[in-house]
Amino acid sequence: MSSNNYCSAAKQVCVPGPIIIGSGPSGLAAAACLKEKGVPSLILERENCIASLWQLKTYDRLRLHLPKQFCQLPLLPFPSDFPNYPTKQQFISYMEGYARHFKLDPVFGRTVVTAEYDNGYGFWRVRTVGGEPEGVVEYVSRWVIVATGENAEEVVPKIEGMSEFVGQIVHTSGYKTGECFYGKRVLVVGCGNSGMEVCLDLCNYDAQPSLVVRDSVHVLPQEMLGTSTFGLSMWLLKWLPVRMVDRFLLLMSRLMIGDTAKFGLNRPDLGPLELKKVSGKTPVLDIGTLELIKSGKIKVWPGIKRLTRHSVEFVDGRVENFDAIICATGYKSNVPTWLKDTNFFSEKDGFPRKPFPHGWKGENGLYAVGFTKRGLLGTSMDATRIAEDIEQQWKLSSRNLRPSVLMHHCQSHEFRKETQN
């Protein structure tokens, strides 16, 4: 459907404050920071709940990979009785408490299909589908904050013979526990944090997991010298250059977990922090999977060449039978599919073109929160900056009565005024 079709059928809603797209941690953090500065906003969410990635697409045994002090959102810390690595349920309850605390009330079931800047009037038109009652609604505002996340859509690789394979093929977003894989031979494709953890979970449910490791990967112990590896790295980076910290991390890892290459997990040429900086690739923080690989409970395989009805042929020519395949192959941004602006966001990967810490602000009132490849810590930094920036404009426009221009346009087009938060 073209944007014109949407336009002609749309009910229109005028939003005096910013429109925030997405009610994950990033969208909620931006709304809370704005609210604290007296700026109202409206959150649009395609699902029917907040933090939908965490509520709908993550496995049961998930805990935060990083200690809680690096994952809390601005203005409201985690409850003090939470453990250092909160469980998925605890994180969700924190997010729900966060939304309640700041009285954030997203409009659910509204998928943004286009967002376009109207040069003539100087505001954004954000068109949505879905909701109750079902229909097309166009929201209009001077500001749009993109908070749809780095993980908006699943990435599933195309593998030759995929349609022939008779077993189940599922993305990790659809994996909850290893319970239904009891006794089964399961191939997990992808050796990031999720792939490694799913293998561990499968072992706990007496499945027989194998792991495809196509590329090199840095595996680090989750904790070193009695503290979190992430926290220690952040601290060391205050005093030492990245390469020296990397050397330290690799030395400690070697002492603690040995030579991972012996088990098929070759390390990249660049150190873990330098690699993260240049490519965004996150090191795996091991929580026990490596021991199971060492003991042979989890077998490591190279890349897949093709699938047949019951088996998998690997690039080294070996063939093995499997009952199921789990794709731990990650996610991608969906921004290029709906944002009609290619200056700020790259069409290639759906991330802001400017690298961190400059990728939070575009032109004409366009912002991005949560696209830093730095997890929830990056989200907090973005949300705080955005709220400060919009607050200035909000104050200025209130003084100059600029919203009245928007209101006038809205009224002349029989728009409905709506601000939720």
Q: Applying CB under 6 A, which residues contact ligand FAD? A: 21-27, 44-47, 52-53, 58, 62, 64-66, 71, 111-112, 147-152, 194, 334, 338, 370, 375-376, 379
Residue nearest to ligand FAD (CB): 24
Q: Which CB atom, from 84 or from 208, has the smaller least distance to ligand FAD?
A: 84
The backbone region for 280, taken as left when phi is positive above 0, alpha when psi lies in -120 to 50, beta otherwise, is left
Give the E-state strand segments of 68-122 in sequence order.
111-118
Q: Which CB atom, from 190 or from 365, has the smaller least distance to ligand FAD?
A: 190
Q: How far is the CB of 339 from ligand FAD (least distance, A)?
A: 9
DSSP secondary structure letters along 356-377: TTSTTB-STTEEE-S-SSSHHH
44/46 Cα distance (integer angstroms): 7
What lies within 8 Å, CB to CB, of 139 at 6+ separation is 12, 13, 15, 19, 42, 44, 125, 126, 127, 128, 418
Q: How far is the CB of 191 from ligand FAD (least distance, A)?
A: 14
Q: Which CB atom, from 98 or from 165, has the smaller least distance to ligand FAD?
A: 98
Q: How far is the CB of 28 from ligand FAD (least distance, A)?
A: 7
Residue 183 identity (one-letter amino acid): G
Q: How far is the CB of 336 from ligand FAD (least distance, A)?
A: 11
Residue 334 identity (one-letter amino acid): N
Judge whether 191 and 200 are in contact, CB under 8 Å: no
Q: Give CA separation, 308 vs 85, 166, 319, in Å.
A: 41, 8, 10
Q: How far is the CB of 183 from ligand FAD (least distance, A)?
A: 26
Q: How far is the CB of 379 from ligand FAD (least distance, A)?
A: 6
10/129 Cα distance (integer angstroms): 9
Q: Which CB atom, from 105 or from 313, has the smaller least distance to ligand FAD?
A: 105
Q: Is 395 helix (H, G, I), strand (E, B) or coil?
A: helix
Q: Which CB atom, from 139 or from 301, has the smaller least distance to ligand FAD?
A: 139
Q: Which CB atom, from 112 or from 293, has the smaller least distance to ligand FAD?
A: 112
Residue 322, CA atoms < 13 Å, CB-side half-sphere: 31
Judge whether 19 and 143 are in contact, CB under 8 Å: yes
Q: Which CB atom, from 23 or from 253, has the smaller least distance to ligand FAD?
A: 23
Q: How far is the CB of 56 from ligand FAD (least distance, A)?
A: 8
Residue 221 tokens, joined: 């112990």
102/100 Cα distance (integer angstroms): 6
Q: How far is the CB of 68 from ligand FAD (least distance, A)?
A: 9
Q: Which CB atom, from 307 or from 339, has the smaller least distance to ligand FAD?
A: 339
